[in-house]
């Protein structure tokens, strides 16, 4: 596609439920990143994919968070047993390669846990 696409744009969920957030990177981009933006923490790195593998998961805040990428394209970030502190905007970005200098961001998914 023309840009990084994320869905849904907004998600409201009840505490304790699981949610899945989807990211469609720019076609041909091999590197994909997930970030989280919240008022208290700013922009935080969560996980990085090169192809289908995730060499850096160091930013995932707990074992309730997981992500996968299939076919070197679409990625899904899953949050299990959501908590109120998970409320944030989840941003996905992609770049042509992992050494490529520029990362392009999607519009984000605003997650609200009530």
Partner 1 sequence: ELKVEQNPLFLSMQEGKNYTIYCNYSTTSDRLYWYRQDPGKSLESLFVLLSNGAVKQEGRLMASLDTKARLSTLHITAAVHDLSATYFCAGGVEPPGGATNKLIFGTGTLLAVQP
Q: Which residues bind partner 1 (CB under 8 A)?
A: 31, 33, 35, 42-45, 48, 55-56, 59, 91, 93, 95, 98-108
Nearer to partner 1, 14 or 42 (CB): 42
CB 70 to partner 1: min, Å: 20
Three-state secondary structure call for residue 84: helix
Which of 79, 92, 87 minimizes the C-alpha distance to 110?
A: 87
- Pairing state between β 65-69 and 53-56: unpaired
CB 40 to partner 1: min, Å: 11
CB 35 within 8 A of CB 45: yes
Nearer to partner 1, 88 or 93 (CB): 93
Nearer to partner 1, 13 or 50 (CB): 50
Which of 100, 102, 96 minimizes the C-alpha distance to 29?
A: 96
CB 94 to partner 1: min, Å: 11
């Amino acid at each position: 596609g023309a840009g990084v696409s994320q869905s849904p744009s907004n998600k409201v969920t009840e505490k304790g439920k699981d949610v899945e957030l989807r990211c469609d990177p720019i076609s041909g981009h091999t590197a994909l990143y997930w970030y989280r933006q919240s008022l208290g923490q700013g922009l935080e790195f969560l996980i990085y994919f090169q192809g289908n593998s995730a060499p850096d998961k160091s930013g995932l805040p707990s074992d309730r968070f997981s992500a996968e990428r299939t076919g070197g394209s679409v990625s899904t970030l899953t949050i299990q047993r959501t908590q109120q502190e998970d409320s944030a905007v989840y941003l996905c970005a992609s770049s042509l390669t992992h050494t490529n200098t520029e990362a392009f961001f999607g519009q984000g998914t605003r997650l609200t846990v009530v």
